[in-house]
Structure 1
Amino acid sequence: MSHRRTALTGAAVTLSVLALASCGNVDAPPGSASGDGGVVITYNSPSEWGNYGEVLRAFTEETGVTAPNDPKNSGQALAALQAEKGSPVADVAYTGIAFGEQLVEAGVLQEYVPEGADQVPDELRDPDGAWTSVHTGTIAFIVNEDHLDGAPVPRGWDDLLDPAYEGKVGYLDPTQAAVGYSAATAVNVALGGDFDDWGPGLDYLNGLKDNGASTSAQTATAKVAQGEIPILIDTDFNGYKLRDEGANVSVVIPEEGSLQIPYIVGLVEGAPNEDNGRALLDFYFSERGQGLFAAGYMRPVIGEMPDELADKVLPPEEYERATTVDYVEQGQRQQEFIELYQDEVGF
């Protein structure tokens, strides 16, 4: 089958995303206040993702507003927002930037520029104020060195196809999770592809499949710590956090190249707790909020990574291999990629 295909219409995008599974459970953060200030519901804020557990706990401590964590991924969050459009449940949504255009086209976000967010570069926010990038990450290998069975730490994409890593590699489902789609974009670009040609990336992912790779719909860093997935293609910040928690992990930026990933937040159209939603978004872009994201090794969009944290991550020259792309086009091409992936790779 040809790897080139015309992007589908916005209606097809909507129907496809609605078909994605949606998890509706939210869990109150441990030790959170009882909600003297009410509640704010976020979609796609797993407590184990970066530092989201601590971010929402700190918001509750500061405001008295209960802010439960939510386990959805980006695709599930979009699907839920669309399904609930007539009677919204969530107040704030968080997704990878590739979903930004779909959120706007679906009409599930309202215009709101949080306090302080005017400092975010123009290319990292919606021109009409529907969403704003809150931090960035980079696609990396998170490698549990205790479960490689004598194999060396892989340094690049090509290494993962070696039989020495058979059954040891995992990545998030690129048809559902923003980080999975970003990983597919990263390897495609690194190996010479572009948005008009997904061939290099799809061929590579087929090679991973043949070598026993697994996919997960949800954040899978716990499986790395347990050795169930010794090598996870994920974000760098999740790897650094695992290391801080005591796991013997290395974070590797693939030598052939990688991708920077902005993550975005927005206020839900018709949010049932709209004032609390605005307050949470303001908190995200406050000095404390940006500092808490940085404490989870998420690179803040306002200011720099604190020196004490910068010393704990890979040196800047490693990140020079992580490129940027036209993120609007990446979002527009997502459905095209999903169709190709399902037809040619699939799990």
Structure 2
Amino acid sequence: MKKRLLAALLAGMMVFSLAACGSKESTTTEDQKEDSKAEESAELEDSLVVYSTHSEDMLEEICNAFTEKTGVEVEYINLKGELADRVRSEKDNPQADIMFGGDTATYMLLQDEGCYEATKPEWAGDLPDDFKDADGYWYGTYKTPVVMFYNTDLMTAEEAPKDWSDLVKPEYAGKIITRDSLSSSMRSTIAALVSYYTANESEEAAWEYIEGLNANIKNYYNSGSMMFQAIGKGEAAISIAVLDNIIDNRDNNSMPLEIVDATSGAITITDCIAAIKNAPHPNAAAAFVEFVGSKECEEMVANSFNRMPALDAALEGAPEWMKTGYAPMTLDWADISANQSATLERWETDYIDGNKTVQSN
């Protein structure tokens, strides 16, 4: 009798224990579901502030599309070459939510300084490793080749430079115009060239090259439109710019421009985006990163502004020329990032001739 009672009690305890375990598992699952729902339904803030280097027209189209999709109103501010410095200076009291534009080296540098918040957009897994941070602190949006080009009314293909090394030759003295240090693409170009010649020759050779380039440059422009107008008017034959701007002025403004497919390759910048750490509108910031890097937005920008998407899937609906592109120069962007500040300071302080700088009115 006692044995039967003990067996019954043990059986009851086992049933209760299993029920309790089942109840605990069920509760955990429900909690997980609630947490997931909470994450999915995180409310977007009403507004968003974007610091960028991109053109007003491009920012307007992207931001209007984002507002239409989400209801979030976007204020965008074009900071040109001052973008990184502004984000850095506001690190302890961020005034913006998004940093949009600038190269990989700049993003690596600011990431090390703790300026970004990690995000996890749905398309992140489809983006090649070379175009994103492994921990989600920044993502590439557009592949931006920087190339040489020339005015075909002033120079033949035989007379034009064939590689970056040619720009320092005596025959090109006074025949080159470029952007100044306000241009983020020109800053990236100088940092890349110094790194390239240091790696392949020596640091001394790299700075001799920059000195020779400055000697041959007729003018530096702090406005991209002014620089292209100068090329169009025949003030100089040769210049350097991002590929999409050259194509836009060639095809839409009927300028007689020819692109140089440099022997050592195009300086291919990856334009990036990141959410700023401790930003005023973190949920809207994450949603903006999600939208900008999506196939939908990248295809839109590719067709409206000739920007080459970093997301391969977006090439399907992009202009045909983007599917071939130009071979990239072999560059160590980690090295460029580590030395960028010192390189640019030296370039601005010791090499740019201020008397050659043309200011916009």
* TM-score with structure 2 setting the length: 0.71
Task: Tell me the number of residue pairs that the alignment of Structure 1 and Structure 2 aligns.
Answer: 303
1:29 maps to none
Instruction: Spell out, residue by residue over 1:109-129, the C-alpha distance to the aligned partner (whole angstroms, 9 max, x if none).
Output: 111122312221223222222
Cα deviation, 1:240-268, whole Å, max 9, x if unaligned, reads: 22223224122223234332211211001
Q: Which runs of 5+ in 2 are unaligned?
A: 1-44, 354-361
Does the residue aligned with 2:198 lie in a helix, a strand or coil?
coil
**Structure 1 residues without counterparts, runs of 5 or longer:** 1-36
- Residue 213 of structure 2 is aligned to residue 208 of structure 1: yes
Does 2:337 correspond to 1:331? Answer: yes
1:243 equivalent among 239, 243, 250: 250
Partner of 2:65: helix, strand, or coil? helix
| Distance in 2 (alpha carbons) for counterparts of 1:340 and 1:83 | 21
Deviation, structure 1 residue 96 = 1.0
Using a 3 Å threshold, how does the CA distance of structure 1 residues 257 and 178 change in structure 2: closer, same or farther?
A: same
Q: Structure 2 vs 1, CA of residues 327 and 293 (structure 1 numbering), >3 Å: closer, same or farther? A: farther
Out of 72, 75, 100, the position equivalent to 2:79 is: 72
Aligned partners of 1:229 and 1:85: how far apart in 2? 42
Shift of 1:43: 1.2
2:276 maps to 268
Name 1:89's counterpart in structure 2.
Answer: 95
1: distance between equivalents of 2:142 and 2:53?
Answer: 13
Superposition pairs of residues 1-347 of structure 1, within 5 angstroms: 38-47=46-55, 51-74=58-81, 76-94=82-100, 95-146=102-153, 148=154, 152-161=159-168, 165-173=172-180, 177-188=183-194, 192-194=197-199, 197-216=202-221, 220-227=224-231, 231-248=238-255, 249-295=257-303, 296-303=305-312, 306=315, 309-312=318-321, 315-316=324-325, 319-320=326-327, 322-342=328-348, 344-347=350-353
1:286 Cα offset (Å): 1.5
TM-score by length of 1: 0.74
- Output the CA distance in 2 between the equivalents of 1:206 and 1:222: 24
Residues 282 and 130 of structure 1: is their aligned pair in 2 closer, same or farther, counting only changes over 3 Å? same
Bigger mean CA deviation after superposition, 39-48 or 155-164: 155-164
- Counterpart of 1:214, as a letter, is N
Q: Distance in 2 between matches of 1:53 and 1:324?
A: 34
Identity of counterpart residues, as a percentage? 23
Distance 1:243 1:39, change over 3 A: farther
**Which whole-Å deviations, capped at 9, do the CAs of 1:287-313 have from their partners, x for residues lacking one?**
211112322332222125646755346
> Structure 1 residues 66 and 164, CA, compared in 2 at 3 Å: closer, same or farther?
farther
Q: What is the deviation of 1:331? A: 0.3
Hey, what's the Cα distance between the residues in 2 that align with 1:244 and 1:207? Answer: 32
- Tell me by how many angstroms 1:38 deviates: 3.7
C-alpha spacing 1:222/1:144, structure 2 compared with 1 (3 Å):
farther
| Amino acid corresponding to residue 47 of structure 1 in structure 2 | S
Kindly provide the amino acid, as one letter, of the partner of residue 311 in structure 2: I
SS of alignment partner, residue 217 of structure 2: coil
Q: Distance in 1 between matches of 2:336 and 2:193?
A: 14
Q: Name the SS for the 1:193 alignment partner.
A: helix
More helix by share: 2
Tell me which amino acid in the other structure corresponds to 2:113. A
Q: Distance in 2 between matches of 1:71 and 1:229?
A: 28
Of the structure 1 ranges 53-62 and 126-135, higher mean CA displacement relative to structure 2 is found in 53-62
Contact (CA 8 Å) 2:193, 2:206: kept in 1 or not? yes
- Asked if the contact 2:91–2:115 (Cα under 8 Å) also holds between the matched residues in 1, the reply is yes
Give the greater-gyration-radius structure (CA): 2
Q: Structure 1's 41 and 153: CA in aligned 2 closer, same or farther, altered over 3 A? A: farther
The 8 Å contact of residues 308 and 322 in structure 2, kept in 1 or not, is answered as no
Aligned match of 1:17:
none
**Hey, what's the Cα distance between the residues in 1 that align with 2:237 and 2:75?**
30
Asked whether the equivalents of residues 187 and 258 of structure 1 are also in contact (C-alpha less than 8 Å), the reply is: no
